[in-house]
Chains A and B, each alone.
Chain A
Amino acid sequence: MSEGARPGGLTALAIINFCAAAYDLVFGTLATLAVMLVFQSGRVRESVRQRGDGARTLEMMDKLHEHAGFMWATAGANAVCGVLLLIAGIGYLKQRRRMGRGIGNLYAVVSLLSLVSLTVTMPDIAEEQSVLSFLTLLVAVYPLLTLFLLNVTFKEDFVN
């Protein structure tokens, strides 16, 4: 099969990969890092305390401080997944066996492992998130679908 015969689904998968990578890198990594840096900053803490009406915010900051390791791990996992998604997306477009199928499979496995480990070790930060919820399924849908598509539907399409 030539490169020109790339199925529409593989192109769509690549585009979805780029969108998911952007989401992981911007919201999952940069936003988490920004929140951690702001909340762990002594100056911000002091100004909230001085204002006198930020008891809830201070409580939240304390919790985040307490679970800083978990937050850093989340940001790290999102960064790794974001980069893998980006590389795999380019691989899908070029129909490369290693860069597309290989890295795509690696992304799916890393994403599922990080989801399981983060879900199991998730601290009770906001007192509202259940350990296993529909949201967990929602996050697991894309890596599971990626595994299925790369190894069943588009198995023969990585020709380069």
Chain B
Amino acid sequence: MNARHVALIALYSSRYSVRSGIGLVFLLAALLFGLMVSHMLLQPAEKIVKKARAEGVELTTERVVERLKDSPQVRSAVDWILGSQAASEIADDQARRSAQEKVRAWTAYLLDERPALLSTILLILFWGWPFVASLGAFDLFSGDVQSRGIRYHLMRADRSSIYFGRVLGAALAQGAVLLFLVGLITTFLHFKLPFYGFGAMARWGGYGALMMILVSLPYLALCGWISGAIDSPFGSLTIITVVLGGVPLLAVFGEMRWEQLGWIRYLLPWGVQLNLFQPSPVQVAGAAAACLGYTAVFLYLGHRHFQKRDL
């Protein structure tokens, strides 16, 4: 493997990713997904303010956001996302109470100590992002392998450089899109909800964007592995989507029948990725290490297969 080749391939593949149809579709999907989620969360608060003003009641968006985040429905929804269901199923009384307390503290951290609306947007983006990321990376290799176009690259660079260069290029391109998207959402939210203060919004938005980049790495590595193993882009997209959606579904439904099946979720970062938003730095560091670990494993498996296969 040649580091200069890896850097060159990464740079070119990220710079020209939009020139391929897939890069363009990913860019549009990412922007539409992020802005749609933000719109759906901000609109109810604005609706309530407008309605109240029309009825002669003076109400600010700040009061509405405060009321919404303190409402039991929103609290229990965030509790549920963060794992209150699993905590409530612990048999031991003391352990259950302690786990539920931890989930409540986590919810309070996200909704009270950080800009609540931005936290909720980031949580939803976190769940959907692996699917959006896969839209931009399912054809890292499969199309070129199918058309035999990759043979032209093989005359100039070795397989390892091509493999790592393209995965790195996809990570750079997706990182840039993520930074732009979260920057846009954070800036716009600040104009809409200035009471959080720009510093707090920018810090939390920046942190969220970095965590999303971190969590997209293992999914990109997985896409690289599957895309390098399957000659058809459509087949690659299908398998990636089935794997990404199937793992958490199988875990959720499987553990209803047999509790141990819940461990399946740890085949992908689904089981640990939310810990990147934990209040405790130790847990954040653990989740970050796990994400990098998943990335390393998927990269190793993908690279090993790509080295041996017929191109």
Contacts and interface: CB of A to CB of B under 8 A. Distances in A.
Contacts of A40: none
A127 B35 contact: no
Contacts of B36: 134, 138
Interface stretch (B44-52, B105-113, B206-214, B258-266): B44-52
A102 interface: no
Contact of A127 (B28, B39, B50): B50
A134 B184 CA distance: 10
Contacts of B50: 127-128, 130
Given A138-B35, A141-B32, A145-B27, A133 B18 contact: no
B130 to A, nearest CB: 22
Given A9-B23, A12-B25, A134-B188, A127 B18 contact: no
B43 A9 contact: no
B19 A8 contact: yes
B21 interface: yes
A137 B35 CA distance: 7
A113 B202 CA distance: 30
A141 B35 contact: yes
A9 B47 contact: no
A153 B50 CA distance: 42
A16 B104 CA distance: 44
A131 B24 CA distance: 29
A9 B20 contact: yes
Given A13-B24, A137-B184, A154 B35 contact: no
Contacts of B27: 145
Interface residues of A, number: 21
Given A127-B51, A138-B39, A149-B18, A133 B24 contact: no
A27 B50 CA distance: 26
A152 to B, nearest CB: 9
Given A134-B38, A134-B39, A137-B188, A16 B18 contact: no
A7 interface: yes
B57 interface: no
A12 B24 contact: yes
A11 interface: yes
A12 B21 contact: yes
Nearest to B44: A128
Contacts of A141: 28, 31-32, 35
A80 to B, nearest CB: 22
A7 B43 contact: no
- Interface secondary structure of B, over-half rule: helix
Contacts of A137: 35, 184, 188
Contacts of A8: 19-22
Given A133-B43, A141-B31, A9 B184 contact: no
B42 interface: yes
A68 interface: no
A155 to B, nearest CB: 11
Given A9-B19, A127-B50, A138 B28 contact: no
Contacts of A133: 39, 42-43, 46
A2 B1 CA distance: 35
B210 to A, nearest CB: 22
A127 B54 contact: yes
A135 interface: yes
Given A13-B24, A130-B43, A142-B28, 10 more contacts: A8-B21, A8-B22, A16-B24, A16-B25, A16-B28, A128-B46, A133-B42, A134-B43, A153-B19, A154-B19
6 nearest A-B residue pairs (beta carbon) = A12-B21, A134-B39, A8-B21, A128-B47, A9-B24, A8-B20
18 contacts: A7-B20, A9-B20, A9-B23, A9-B24, A13-B24, A16-B24, A16-B28, A128-B43, A128-B50, A130-B50, A133-B43, A134-B39, A134-B42, A134-B43, A135-B39, A135-B43, A141-B32, A145-B31
